[in-house]
Amino acid sequence: MARRNKSEERELALRRMRELVSLAQTEQRGGDDASVKRYVQLARRIGMRYQVSLPPEIRRRICRSCDGVLVPGSTARHRVTDGRVNVTCLRCGAIKRYPFRARPKVAA
């Protein structure tokens, strides 16, 4: 029996997770909330199965409490205060906070 190649499995899982999140974003534009939630849940389940964490660029676009896709202006509110970015989900009201450091100003 052939041995499993875990690195290839994890790469495939990561590709599938990215594809599912992109499908969720396109469904979000269409307004189908049930399929958005299902795609996000499937992406998370694949990550747990193959022990792959969601990349930060994907993790920041998903609400942990309602499994929705955070789209600025329609499903999420982004505010920058006191060196942090506050992202509020407009469906469930959950708040995510990320540190933010402004770039140093370059003297002209």
In this structure, is residue 15 part of a structural domain?
yes
In this structure, is residue 107 part of a structural domain?
no
**Predicted confidence (pLDDT) per residue in 2-47, tens digit:** 888 999 999 999 999 999 999 999 998 888 889 999 999 999 999 9
Tokens 């992406």 sit on residue: 43
CA distance 40 to 45: 9
In this structure, is residue 55 part of a structural domain?
yes
In this structure, is residue 41 part of a structural domain?
yes
User: What band does 108 get if pLDDT is binned at 50, 70 and 90?
Assistant: low
Left if phi > 0, otherwise alpha if psi is -120 to 50, otherwise beta: which for 73?
left
Report the predicted TM-score, pTM, of the whole model to 2 decimal places: 0.81
- Does the structure show a pLDDT above 80 at 82? yes
What single string gives the DSSP state of each residue in 1-38? -PPP-HHHHHHHHHHHHHHHHHHHHHHHHHT-HHHHHH
In this structure, is residue 91 part of a structural domain?
yes
In this structure, is residue 76 part of a structural domain?
yes
- Residue 24: which domain range? 6-99
In this structure, is residue 104 part of a structural domain?
no
- Taking residues 99-103, what's their average pLDDT? 80
In this structure, is residue 30 part of a structural domain?
yes
